């Protein structure tokens, strides 16, 4: 069963003279096992939106159900929330235990699992994020590098075995290698456990590479929702919204300005390579 978001509006300071609709009339069904990328610039409402998915924030109007649990209902929310793992920005700031093991065990422990089950989950989560158990379990989180800390923090959420994993900018501040590690890790987790990944990112190139579906939020509304091909086929429109586009789309825009008719669906390097080879071959004829 999916997450169903229906006509959700969230108003900050509702009823006052300075009320603002952070998100407005959002409709989306998030399917089991899908990789959904969410993009939008600062203040577009994307963080407000994802906070609705586990009931951290309640809609001013509209409904959200997680596998059928109505997130507006106090009792149902508790059950729905167990299915949704939430990784906030810079999650490593929330590491607090003496060892990596204890930190990852914190969630499962609070779920009331016995020690054996907790141990299984910690090992499994560390395996998913690529932190070797022997090497890292007894280390203090503060001895880890930035990228390792980030992975340990994500492992703490994975240990709850969420059906939906929501991540707000999981690669922010990491170097290119660290970014790639996290992206690959999320994709292999999804394939191994069939959980859904819902990832907010500023990096169009990262979203273009990994997401199956992309939701663009602009001024609190869904501006676009579709496959990467659909969304990036309107590169000019994204730029107008003040968003970045994949570098290859930016090149396509520049080429179109100079009279080369680049097809709308090109946003990956491989596609662009084939296209340019094609036009150059024709020129030679």
Partner 1 sequence: MIEIKDLVYEYMTDEQENKVAALDGVSLKIEDGEFVCIVGHNGSGKSTLAKHLNGLLQPTSGDVLIDNMNTKDESKLLDIRQKIGIVFQNPDNQIVTTVVEEDVAFGPENIGIESGEIRRRVDESLKLVGMEKYAKNAPHMLSGGQKQRIAIAGMLAIEPDILVLDEATAMLDPIGRKEVLNIVSELNKKKHMTVIMITQYMEEAVHASRLIVMCKGKVMMDGETREIFKHGAQLRELSLDVPDIVALRDELILNGVKISNNAITETELAEELCR
Binding flag, residue 20, partner 1 (CB under 8 A): no
If the CB atoms of residues 159 and 272 are measured against partner 1, the closer one turns out to be 272
Q: What 8-state DSSP symbol labels residue 223?
A: E
Q: Which residues lie closer than 8 Å to 77 by C-beta, 6 or more apart?
A: 55, 69, 70, 71
Q: Are 56 and 78 in contact (CB under 8 A)?
A: no
Q: Are 163 and 69 in contact (CB under 8 A)?
A: no
Q: Are 52 and 5 in contact (CB under 8 A)?
A: yes
Q: Minimum Å distance from CB 109 to partner 1?
A: 29
Which residue among 147, 156, 170, 220 contacts partner 1 (CB under 8 A)? Answer: 147
Interface pattern 221-260 for partner 1 (x via CB under 8 A):
---------------------xxx-xxx-xx-xxx-xxxx
**Which two tokens mark 231?**
């969304």
Q: Minimum Å distance from CB 149 to partner 1?
A: 11
Which residue among 42, 74, 134, 263 contacts partner 1 (CB under 8 A)? Answer: 42
3-state secondary structure of 171: coil
- Contact range with partner 1 by CB under 8 A, out of 41-49, 154-162, 188-196, 216-224: 41-49
Binding flag, residue 16, partner 1 (CB under 8 A): no
Which residue among 177, 261, 282, 285 contacts partner 1 (CB under 8 A)? Answer: 177
Q: How many Å apart are CA 3 and CA 40, to the nearest integer?
A: 21
If the CB atoms of residues 150 and 163 are measured against partner 1, the closer one turns out to be 150
Binding flag, residue 202, partner 1 (CB under 8 A): yes
Binding site for partner 1 (CB under 8 A): 41-43, 145-147, 172-178, 202-205, 242-244, 246-248, 250-251, 253-255, 257-260, 269, 272-273, 276-277, 280
């Amino acid at each position: 069963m999916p997450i169903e978001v229906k006509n959700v509006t969230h108003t900050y300071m509702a009823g006052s003279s300075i009320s603002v609709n952070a998100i407005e009339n959002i409709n989306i069904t998030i399917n089991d096992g899908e990789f959904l990328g969410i993009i939008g610039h600062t203040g577009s409402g994307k963080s407000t939106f994802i906070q609705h998915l586990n009931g951290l924030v309640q809609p001013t109007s509209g409904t959200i159900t997680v596998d059928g649990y109505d997130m507006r209902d106090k009792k149902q929310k508790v059950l729905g929330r167990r299915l949704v793992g939430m990784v906030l920005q810079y999650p490593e700031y929330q590491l607090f235990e003496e060892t990596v093991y204890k930190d990852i065990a914190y969630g499962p422990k609070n779920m009331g699992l016995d020690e054996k089950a907790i141990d299984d989950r910690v090992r499994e989560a560390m395996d998913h994020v690529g932190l070797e158990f022997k090497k890292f379990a007894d280390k203090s989180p503060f001895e880890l590098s930035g990228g390792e800390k980030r992975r340990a923090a994500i492992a703490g959420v994975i240990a709850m075995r969420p059906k939906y994993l929501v991540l707000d900018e999981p690669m922010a501040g990491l170097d290119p290698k660290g970014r790639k590690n996290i992206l690959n890790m999320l994709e292999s987790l999804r394939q191994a456990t069939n959980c859904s990944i819902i990832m907010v990112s500023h990096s169009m190139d990262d979203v273009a590479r990994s997401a199956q579906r992309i939701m663009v939020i602009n001024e609190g509304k869904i501006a676009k929702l579709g496959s990467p091909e659909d969304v990036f086929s309107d590169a000019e429109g994204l730029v107008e919204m003040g968003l970045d586009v994949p570098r290859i789309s930016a090149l396509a825009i520049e080429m179109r300005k100079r009279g080369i008719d680049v097809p709308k669906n090109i946003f990956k390097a491989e596609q662009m390579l084939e296209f340019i080879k094609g036009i150059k071959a024709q020129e030679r004829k």
